[in-house]
Amino acid sequence: MQKGIPRRGLLKGTVVALGAVVAGSLGGCLTSQLYEERGSDEVYTETVGQFYITADEQSFVIIGKQYHYFMQVDPELLKAIRSGLHGKMQAEFLPISVTYWQNLVGEFILRIPQLDQLEPGQIDEAKALGFVASPSQNALLHRYAIRGSRFTSKRDITAYQANPLNSTYTLHFSAYREKSKVTQVLLTPVTVTADGVLMILALPLLPLGLMAAKPFKVK
């Protein structure tokens, strides 16, 4: 079996991004699920048309058809999103692994292309945000670690997503599975109101597009 954070540690540590908003909801959100009779990883994709952020700005939330993904926010990423360079950035998700304990492990890259066409002041601003010049790619790059948790949804609520982005993203996942084993999975704390608003407890999820003038370009 692939080793990971114990379930108690997962609830306390991996989902730190949920903070006090979700802490009270996880106690009754565990259920058992029998994995299929095969040991190879489950490889699948999610097409994403909107990213959300929790009201406390601690978690990015991605709503898939079967799963919801909570990813801990890197404060440097928020600074980049809110900067004047945001409109020049391209976003790229590298393949994301889901461990036996439903932890997310991966990497997210922001890229500012056409390095040779940027003004010196823009390069200085980007470097102050943590970007590193890559002459071989003629770009400035910033890599962010993806850490978080995957939750199971009882129904597809993607139709309720607000203000879809102009471009969509395809995220690639590889999820650990073990033969003939029953494991615990987390049920999503995301709910939908009668008006179709996505909520965590009493707080709405905020579309990430509200934080920036333009959505990321897809590489």
Mind listing the pLDDT tens digit for each residue in 111-160? 999 999 999 999 999 999 999 999 999 999 999 999 999 999 988 988 88
Q: Give the chain's mean pLDDT.
A: 78
Residue 47 has pLDDT above 60, yes or no: yes
Confirm whether 16 is domain-assigned: no
Confirm whether 74 is domain-assigned: yes
Confirm whether 111 is domain-assigned: yes
Contact 7, 101 (CB under 8 A): yes
Q: How far apart are CA 175 and CA 196, in angstroms?
A: 30
Query: How confident is the model at residue 51, as a pLDDT?
Result: 87
What tokens appear for 113 in the block? 């292309």
Confirm whether 149 is domain-assigned: yes
What tokens appear for 33 in the block? 């699920």
Query: How confident is the model at residue 177, as a pLDDT?
Result: 78
Query: How confident is the model at residue 209, as a pLDDT?
Result: 61
Domain span at residue 66 reads 7-11+36-218
Confirm whether 23 is domain-assigned: no
Total domain count, the chain: 1
Confirm whether 24 is domain-assigned: no
Q: How far apart are CA 18 and CA 139, in angstroms?
A: 33
Confirm whether 188 is domain-assigned: yes
Query: How confident is the model at residue 43, as a pLDDT?
Result: 93
DSSP letter for each residue of 1-33: ------HHHIIIIITGGGHHHHHTTGGG-EEEE
Confirm whether 30 is domain-assigned: no
With 0.75 as the threshold, say if the pTM is over it.
yes
Least confident segment among 22-36, 51-65, 119-133: 22-36
Query: How confident is the model at residue 139, as a pLDDT?
Result: 96
